[in-house]
Structure 1
Amino acid sequence: MFKGYLSLRESCPECGLDYSFADPADGPAFFVMCAVGVVGMIAFMIFEFTVHPPVWVHFLVTFPVLAAMCLSVLRPFKGWMVSEQYFHKAEEATFISVGKHGEGYGWRGQAERAAKAAARDKD
């Protein structure tokens, strides 16, 4: 699936699936930063309240641990996002209501407008 650390191949070497549909963009990084941030902050607080290290120890321990956690989880999350795009047939958003402004049913008169739309569609 990957040809580098995070670069996708053009197609799957096993089955030939074209990966041109896949565009996870920054999604994996967002989820990884949120998850690792929560876990990392909990670990940081436990480390702080149990060991009481000086600030320079936090710089030497906490930042490399957070970076290693982010980098180790980023690739599986990107693979997961690509597989979810394939499974759910995700694609670029399209607006089918262009030129049909005001034809929604809204809160009032829904039944009447639905009947008019059904009659208009029959003609």
Structure 2
Amino acid sequence: MRGCCPRCGQGRLFDGFLKLAPRCESCGLDYSFADPADGPAFFVICFVCVPAVIFGLWLEVAFQAPYWVHLVTTLPVLLLTCIPPLRPLKGWLVASQYYYKAEEGRLVTGDAPETGSAARD
């Protein structure tokens, strides 16, 4: 969550705000295994954006606020609650992928030996 390498804890994980570095500058861990995709955005939308939008809707229904009030209140609330959590969440997801050795799913072809219950029957 601090943006450090999941293996050594020293090197930087990011090469920008959300762009992953190619590898750790301290231990050399290659970050090509990491693909958090839209995971951080999903968590932010579900847990942070929804209450922020509800705040804007409440403001409109309760006070029938003009557009400039929404521009001054709702927009900063949305931006301040939605953008900052993206980086720590992405770091957490990359570290989880490293810790649990998560990989992409692969299709089993006819060339590979079968494992599981079909191979034992």
> What range describes the TM-score normalised by the shorter chain of this pair?
0.5 to 0.7
CA distance in 1: counterparts of 2:99 and 2:37, whole angstroms: 17
In the TM superposition, what are the counterparts of 1:62-77 in structure 2 within 5 Å? 62-77=74-89
Report which of the two structures shows the higher radius of gyration computed on alpha carbons.
1
CA distance in 2: counterparts of 1:40 and 1:56, whole angstroms: 17
Q: Name the structure where helix makes up a greater proportion of residues.
A: 1
Q: Which runs of 5+ in 1 are unaligned?
A: 100-113
Confirm or deny that 1:20 pairs with 2:14: no
The letter of the residue matching 1:83 is A
CA distance in 2: counterparts of 1:33 and 1:91, whole angstroms: 25
Q: Which runs of 5+ in 2 are unaligned?
A: 1-12, 111-116
Confirm or deny that 1:5 pairs with 2:46: no
- Structure with higher RCO (Cα < 8 A, 6+ apart): 2
- How far 1:118 moved relative to its partner? 3.6
In the TM superposition, what are the counterparts of 1:1-123 in structure 2 within 5 Å? 1-44=13-56, 47=59, 53-96=65-108, 98=109, 118=120
What whole-Å deviation, never above 9, does each CA across 1:33-83 have from its counterpart, x for those lacking one? 222222313433565577664342012221122122211111111101111
The letter of the residue matching 2:37 is A
What whole-Å deviation, never above 9, does each CA across 1:67-123 have from its counterpart, x for those lacking one? 222111111111011111111211111123x55xxxxxxxxxxxxxx7x9646xxxx
TM-score under structure 2 normalisation? 0.68
RMSD (Å), alpha carbons? 2.5
The letter of the residue matching 1:5 is F
**What is the identity percentage for the equivalent residue pairs of Structure 1 and Structure 2?**
50
Which moved further from structure 2: 35-44 or 81-90? Answer: 35-44
